[in-house]
Amino acid sequence: MIKTVIFDMGGVVITLDENEAGKRFVELGMKEFAEKMDPYKQSGLNGDLEEGKLSEEEYRRQVSEKVGREVSFEELQHCWLGYMKEVPARKLMTIRNLKKQGYRVVLLSNTNPYVSAWTDSADFSGDGHPIGDYFDAMYRSYEVKYMKPDENFFRYVMAQEKALPEECLFIDDGARNCCAASEVGLFTYCPQNGEDWCDKIYDYLK
């Protein structure tokens, strides 16, 4: 029986725009970022940021050096938020309903401090709620020092939650991530980016 529902953020809770962030980094002067950007797992400097190997400030300084001028937090956040296309209210309501129905609801996401500064603010939901209002716990790559599809990320969350993998459902729009979660023993559901999973999720919870 499923007791814990674990959500990816980008592509599941938030609909992703896979191209806009790259365009914004090109405008900033970081064409090399745009050529390597991957909404599922970043590499290079961006990967070091999302895996917690670089702090937000260390990352900002290194980008500034590459661009040849001082780049602000706000400029970099503008680039990263290019990924964020939409936060459907229906999905947030479904997550809230799952909590009311007795499920433990957890976020497990590859992300970074620039995106979190927005998701953790009242601007996130469109009606004054940060993302933390919807989840019982949040595990973010740059904080826990793991990135999906590393199986250790899932094992870490299982240990923290004191949860049995066979009692967890993991929802992610990345097939590689779902495969890694399956290897650890979790049940998985892999909707497409932006897909309305609000009704179908219950087929996996039966």
- Residues belonging to the active site: 8
Please count the residues of the chain. Answer: 206
Nearest Cα neighbor of 70 from 61, 80, 79 is: 61
Instruction: Give the count of beta carbons closer than 10 Å to the beta carbon of residue 39.
Output: 18
CA gyration radius, the chain: 17
Amino acid at site 91: K
3-state secondary structure of 96: helix
Cα 125 to Cα 37: distance, rounded to the nearest angstrom: 25
Cα 131 to Cα 9: distance, rounded to the nearest angstrom: 10
- Contact present, 95 and 135 (Cβ < 8 Å): yes
